[in-house]
Amino acid sequence: MKKEDYMLRAINLAKKAKFHTNPNPRVGCVIVKNNKVIGEGYHKKYGGAHAEVNAIKNCLKKFGSKKGKQLLKDSQVYVTLEPCSIKSKTPPCTNTLLEIMPKEVYCASLDPNKKINGNGVKILRKSGIKVEVGILKKKAIEMNKDFFFKHKNDKPYVRVKIAQTIDGKIALKNGKSKWITSKEARKNVQLLRIQSDAVLIGSNTLIKDNPRLNIRDVKVFKQPISIVLGNTHSAKKNMNIFKDNKKVIFANNYEKTELNQNFTNNLSFIKLTKKNSLNDLLKKLSKYDLNSILVEGGSKIFTSFISKNLADEIIFFISPKFLGKDSIDALSLESPLSIANTNNYIIDSTEMVGEDIKLVLKKN
């Protein structure tokens, strides 16, 4: 087997974790000695052991402690991300590797986290371990693209999800929107929530729809954070958003004390500056360690994110229905002066989902 084959095996292992590592990246590790895999493992869920540790454990279990340690010495370690050099929920992986002393370490990419970024590699090299970075780098980054985006840009990747009719409406004038899109499309939204660390809505949507914003279709070990943007004065303690024991954040121009809404310990408050409040929000969310946010509505919120150029991806579910001129527009953006000025997005993918079509728009 070639280096790329071992790395691909490590990537495929990493993917087994699905979405359970968020906001950590998915990482896989394969340890090789004399062209044979002697141990492999992956980071299974947030807070759990890292990939390198699980691969070593796997080796020791397979060969017993004594033989295992002998094999691990001078081995080749393939890991999809640079071993961490900092203590987080678990000890730094560089320490763990120095204990077994492999001959070579192959990383698909450096860790984009500025606290690590290259330091893990440096520490290993200092101890005489040969380190090579870059094997299947693209694939490894793609697998954790929200994580890489967040560390590169110091803000979460923002997905805006809009379920609209083909005439661009999201609800009747009376606010009714059940159900514009098909059951399958709504199932698909669950998948979007699963890959997101937080789901954001406007306070109008909170009050009108009383949504739960949870993941229902699969068992998850942690629900995405709910973020409500705008005036939450009318929020009530018994709203669905407070179910599921998940974190809820109210973000607006008020002080926590002004709102006086300490409904649960899970409720936090972010006070925004009046100017550039969306930019301010994304910055202030950094302490919650979110790789990505899913923006779910309503119209005013969609319009704000897109007009401020803060929607990194827009996912449209379009149903072949017409709601007519008196219904609520999905968007009410300012019109450009010329059509040439409007080309910010491209259609990245399309897919039929039940009776509707899903269009994923990405920045051009």
Residues that bind a copy of itself (CB under 8 A): 165-168, 172-173, 176-180, 306, 316, 318, 320-327, 329-336, 338-339, 342-347, 350, 352, 355-357, 359, 361
Task: Determine the longest span between alpha carbons in the chain, in angstroms.
Answer: 75
Nearer to a copy of itself, 36 or 173 (CB): 173
DSSP alpha helices (H): ranges in the chain?
A: 3-15, 51-63, 65-72, 93-100, 119-126, 137-143, 145-153, 183-194, 203-209, 256-259, 277-284, 299-307
Nearer to a copy of itself, 148 or 316 (CB): 316
Residues recorded for the chain: 364
Q: How near is the Cβ of 274 to a copy of itself at its closest, in Å?
A: 23
Nearer to a copy of itself, 110 or 172 (CB): 172
Q: What are residue 12's phi and psi, to 5 degrees?
A: -65, -35
Nearer to a copy of itself, 110 or 360 (CB): 360
What is the 3-state composition of the chain as percent helix, strand, coil, each rounded to the nearest 5?
A: 35, 25, 45
**Cα 63 to Cα 56: distance, rounded to the nearest angstrom:** 11
Q: How near is the Cβ of 159 to a copy of itself at its closest, in Å?
A: 15
Return the axis-axis angle of helices 51-63 and 3-15, rounded to nearest 10°.
110
Q: How near is the Cβ of 302 to a copy of itself at its closest, in Å?
A: 10
Q: Which of 52, 82, 296, 313 is catalytic?
A: 52
**Cα 134 to Cα 108: distance, rounded to the nearest angstrom:** 5
Q: How near is the Cβ of 157 to a copy of itself at its closest, in Å?
A: 18
3-state DSSP assignment of residue 134: coil
Nearer to a copy of itself, 177 or 252 (CB): 177
Helix (H) or strand (E) holding 77: strand 76-79
Residue 258 annotated as catalytic: no
Q: How near is the Cβ of 176 to a copy of itself at its closest, in Å?
A: 6
Q: Which residues are catalytic?
A: 52
